[in-house]
């Protein structure tokens, strides 16, 4: 604020007024699709006055389309909405106005989704705009919606995919609580508003769809009602999504802790295992000062073989509607571990009936096509299939993925406790989504805690670490 010479009353700060105009317009458009002429005119004047394109105020233009015409603005979205250090308590009010214009654009595009039928092109555009929002929040596109940055942007030109702030994703719980699940909910709503069967029947429209968890859930629910071209396009989208998620999870498995070095096995005497430092150190007594030459009597090699024991992994997955994200992730994860040496993987899916998917556990795509989402939950039917598979408890790990809202709670828990007491490793998992969102029956949560096998919930990396440590 500046001081008025006539009466000492602070004069309004022009930049503060500009910023308020932009945010008042944002709120007005979010809660009322009808534009307010005065706010629109004032906002256009502000944007043009600070040298930004008026296309930022066009709700019909995607962020991608604005970036295609003004690529110099793309870098400004990196961490745009993350709090920065306040240098000596000063504020750059002009920069705040510019930030308000960019923030308003991405928030309006993501949260003002309108009503009525959604086309494939509109869904793809929203997914791309959501990627720009995630980038503004300091994440990689797809991270907050559970994609790990794997999704491709829609259309050509400047795309948020593969960009974003480097390093780990920031903790957004204090800034905007539950933003990730909210984005996932909006995306799911858009998918439900599509005439999905009509889109899948048209190869041109289907090609515009970008795979997402919400879309895959709808495809898995509706797959039995599809045929011909529509079914082929649905399978292609599922396959594409599965392959992309598998690539992300496979890298996490490779980075996880591995088994201890087995020093009882002699090291392979090959050049890549040569321990050069140790070889030089052990042969220093053979150094000839006159010749300035080191004579090597013995070469030393590194141990690289790791101690492995044949292990059995039994994965039991609740395939009720609320667990679709976990179903997809764990089916893919089971296939990855099925490819490891000396790991015998068994996969069971259940609702009120249980299905042994072990013959297809190596192929998550084929496994998912055999699942039926929805229905009630009765874990005792899955337990009847799982228990006979535990031949050697000490070499067996049972992973049970569910929200544990069961019909026969006492009976199921007692059988789970019996598995734990037998010496097998029992891992209850409440949520294995990338966003970590999930609800677990509090009765089961307390029971598992008392048993000494607390429920794993949160990022799927936690489960990857537990399994890799036990299996290798």
pLDDT tens by residue, 30-50: 887 777 888 888 888 988 888
Q: Residue 165: name the closest of 151, 154, 149 by CA.
A: 149
Name the phi and psi angles at 278, rounded to 5.
-65, -35
Three-state DSSP class for residue 63: helix
Angle at 115 between CA 114 and CA 121, to 5 degrees: 75
The span from the CA of 457 to the CA of 463, in Å, is: 9
Position 426 confidence tier, pLDDT thresholds 50, 70, 90? very high
- Taking 3-state DSSP, the helix, strand and coil percentages for the chain, each rounded to the nearest 5, stand at 50, 10, 40
Q: Which residue has the higher pLDDT, 146 or 344?
A: 344
- What is the pTM (predicted TM-score) of this model? 0.62
Please report the sign of the dihedral spanned by the C-alpha atoms of residue 388, residue 394, residue 396, residue 402: positive
Position 8 confidence tier, pLDDT thresholds 50, 70, 90? low
What pLDDT was estimated at residue 1? 47
Mean per-residue pLDDT, 279-287: 86
> Which strand (E) or helix (H) includes residue 398?
strand 396-401
Supply the mean pLDDT for the chain. Answer: 79
The span from the CA of 143 to the CA of 102, in Å, is: 21
| CA distances in angstroms from 186 to 117, 123, 149, 162, 180, listed in the order given | 14, 11, 18, 23, 10
- Number of Cβ atoms within 10 Å of the Cβ of 333: 28
pLDDT tens across 197-216, in order? 888 998 888 888 888 878 88
Q: At what angle do helices 460-471 and 324-338 cross, to 10 degrees?
A: 30
Residue environment code for 197-210, b if the CB has 16+ CB neighbours within 10 A, otherwise e: eebbbeeebbebbb
The CATH homologous superfamily to which domain 311-471 belongs is von Willebrand factor, type A domain (3.40.50.410)
Domain ranges of the chain: 261-307, 311-471
Which DSSP letter does residue 169 get?
Answer: P
Three-state DSSP class for residue 264: coil
Name the phi and psi angles at 88, rounded to 5.
55, 30
What pLDDT was estimated at residue 380? 93
pLDDT tens across 52-91, in order? 888 888 888 889 888 888 888 888 888 888 766 554 556 7
Residues with Cβ within 8 Å of residue 266, at least 6 apart in sequence: none
| CA distances in angstroms from 323 to 213, 225, 326, 439, listed in the order given | 11, 21, 5, 10
Position 125 confidence tier, pLDDT thresholds 50, 70, 90? confident
């Amino acid at each position: 604020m500046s001081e008025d010479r006539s009466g000492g009353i602070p004069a309004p700060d022009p930049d503060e007024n500009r910023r308020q105009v932009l945010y008042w317009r944002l709120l007005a458009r979010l809660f009322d699709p009808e534009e307010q002429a005065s706010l629109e005119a004032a906002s256009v004047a502000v944007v043009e006055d600070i040298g930004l394109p008026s296309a930022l105020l066009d709700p019909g233009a995607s962020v991608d389309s604005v970036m295609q015409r003004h690529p110099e603005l793309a870098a400004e979205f990196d961490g745009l909405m993350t709090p920065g250090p306040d240098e000596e308590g000063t504020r750059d009010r002009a920069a705040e106005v510019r930030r308000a214009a960019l923030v308003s654009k991405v928030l309006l595009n993501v949260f003002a989704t309108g009503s009525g039928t959604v086309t494939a092109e509109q869904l793809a555009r929203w997914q791309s705009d959501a990627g720009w929002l995630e980038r503004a929040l300091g994440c990689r596109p797809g991270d907050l919606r559970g994609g790990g940055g794997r999704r491709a942007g829609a259309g050509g030109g400047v795309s948020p995919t593969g960009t974003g702030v480097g390093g780990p994703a920031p903790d957004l719980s204090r800034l905007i609580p539950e933003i990730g699940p909210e984005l996932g909910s909006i995306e799911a709503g858009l998918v439900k508003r599509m005439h999905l069967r009509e889109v899948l029947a048209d190869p041109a429209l289907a090609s515009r769809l970008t795979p997402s968890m919400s879309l895959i859930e709808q495809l898995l629910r509706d797959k039995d009602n599809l045929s011909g071209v529509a079914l082929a396009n649905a399978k292609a989208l599922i396959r594409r999504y599965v392959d992309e998620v598998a690539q992300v999870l496979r890298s996490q498995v490779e980075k996880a802790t591995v088994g201890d070095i087995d020093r009882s096995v002699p090291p392979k005497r090959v050049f890549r295992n040569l321990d050069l430092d140790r070889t030089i150190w052990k042969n220093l007594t053979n150094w000839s000062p006159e010749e300035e030459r080191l004579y090597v009597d013995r070469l030393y090699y590194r141990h690289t073989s790791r101690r492995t024991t044949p292990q059995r992994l039994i994965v039991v997955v609740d395939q009720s509607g609320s667990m679709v994200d976990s179903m997809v992730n764990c089916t893919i994860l089971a296939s990855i571990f099925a490819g490891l040496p000396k790991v015998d993987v068994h996969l069971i899916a259940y609702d009120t009936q249980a299905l042994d998917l072990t013959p297809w556990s190596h192929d998550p795509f084929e496994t998912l096509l055999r699942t039926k989402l929805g229905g009630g939950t009765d874990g005792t039917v899955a337990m009847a299939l799982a228990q006979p598979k535990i031949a050697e408890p000490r070499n067996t790990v049972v992973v049970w993925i569910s929200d544990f809202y069961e019909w026969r709670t006492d009976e199921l828990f007692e059988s789970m406790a019996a598995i734990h007491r037998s010496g097998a490793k029992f891992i209850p998992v409440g949520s294995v989504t990338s966003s970590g969102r999930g609800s677990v029956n509090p009765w089961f949560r307390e029971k598992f805690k008392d048993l000494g096998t607390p429920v794993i919930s949160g990022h799927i990396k936690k489960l990857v670490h537990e399994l890799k440590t036990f299996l290798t």
